[in-house]
Amino acid sequence: MLQPLQLDLVARRNADFRETYNLSVDGVDIDLTSVTLAMQIRDHLGSTGAFLLEPTVTITDPTDGIFVIDIPQENVDALPINVTRLDESPSYVYDIRVTYADGFMEMLMEGKFTTRLGVYA
């Protein structure tokens, strides 16, 4: 059983979000062959309503444990602004679930997903 990696992510509301990750334990890459990854962003932990966003997670090199999270700018900007002051950054929660070939599912990553306003429109 995996212990989910705790990692907070920050996206700009005026740019695409694309980050590449290499999963390894003690320097040994985790093999992602025959698994799928799925990500959801929600307003808060325990939220039972519809998710706010389901970004694309693509495994680009399964044997070396490499995957990419890709969110177009218009999807980041479409997230609701859940703050009342302009100097605060809207914050949500996310997790990434791994599903193995036998159907077993567990959480791979989780944390805060924060968006920041930008200058460039």
- List the beta bridge partners of residue 101: none
Q: With contact defined as beta carbons under 8 Å apart, do 71 and 39 qualify?
A: no
Number of domains comprising the chain: 1
- The model's pTM: 0.89
Each residue's pLDDT tens digit, 96-112: 999 999 999 999 999 99
The answer to the question of residue 39 being in a domain is yes
Q: Quote the pLDDT of residue 25.
A: 83
Name the token pair of 101. 């070939």
pLDDT of residue 9: 97
Does residue 32 sit within a domain? yes
- C-alpha span between 110 and 113 (Å, rounded): 9
- Domain-located, residue 121: no
The domain of 111 spans 5-116
**CATH number of residue 10's parent domain:** 2.60.40
- pLDDT digits over 32-87, tens only? 999 999 999 999 888 888 899 999 999 999 999 999 999 999 999 999 887 777 67
β strands within 36-104, DSSP E: 36-42, 56-61, 66-71, 91-99
Instruction: Note whether 32 and 24 are within 8 A (CB).
Output: no
